[in-house]
Amino acid sequence: MKQRYFVTGTDTAVGKTLLTVALIRAAQAAGHTAIGCKPIAAGCEMVDGHWVNDDAAEILAANSFPLSYGQVNPIALQEFIAPHIAADNEGRSLSVNELARHIDALPDAEYTFIEGAGGWLVPLNQTETMADLAVALNTPVILVSGLRLGCINHTLLTVDAIKNAGLQLAGWIGNCVDADMPAREANINTLRTHIDAPLLGIVPWMGEPDPQVAATEIALNPLLASIKKNNPA
């Protein structure tokens, strides 16, 4: 069984890369091949004559197959700002078709995790967003919810947007991004009640994010069960 997933978040800086790598590690720990990619990365440094993003490099190092940096991150933008603005500043254009071609050219793995940029509706250009890329790929979506004050609204709005785009929400992961979040468990319980998709795990607060630790908090079985439920044989 080969399955691709689009990993989106309720916002930027909610741990999408941490969880993308953790999902790769969890699949590998279960005996599967797994790769990830970050098609667009904004905020890069020059390394050996090439623009390199730390998050994309982390995904590259986790992959089951030896991929090139360009396969994992075909669009590397210099400034750490919204991708369409960073691209405009460099005289570049972004398009769903171009990004989809790069992703479709990746080698097959049992699990492929495609990390979006920012949140669900981050623009790529004047007419297309990251959501349009997910729709073009027609992949189930995994949502990373940054657990902090305001997460209920942000998460449920994103859940509705994913469903309104006609895509399956295969599961969601709560990532504790605020060590002192008030009423954390009550917030998590509210999300569990209102989200009609499996909870794949709650990642505790970590002063230094560690994808290997995060991987131990992720359950893949609900993910597979969700896919089978929506795609019966």
Q: Which residues are annotated as catalytic?
A: 38
Distance CA 82, CA 87 (A): 9
Structure tokens at 225: 């069960």
Q: Three-state SS for 9?
A: strand
Name residue 202's beta-bridge partners. 174
Residue in 39, 8, 41 with CA at minimum distance from that of residue 158: 8
Contact of 70 with 38, CB cutoff 8 Å: no
Could you tell me the two tokens for 45?
Answer: 């440094």
Q: Tokens in use for 113? A: 């995790």
Q: Tally the residues of the chain.
A: 233
The first and second tokens of residue 18, run together, are 């941490």
- For 174, the token pair is 């709560």
Largest CA distance in the chain: 50
Tokens at 95, concatenated: 């398009």
Q: Between β-strands 45-47 and 111-115, what pairing exists: parallel, antiparallel or unpaired?
A: unpaired
The whole-angstrom separation of Cα 118 and Cα 8 is 8
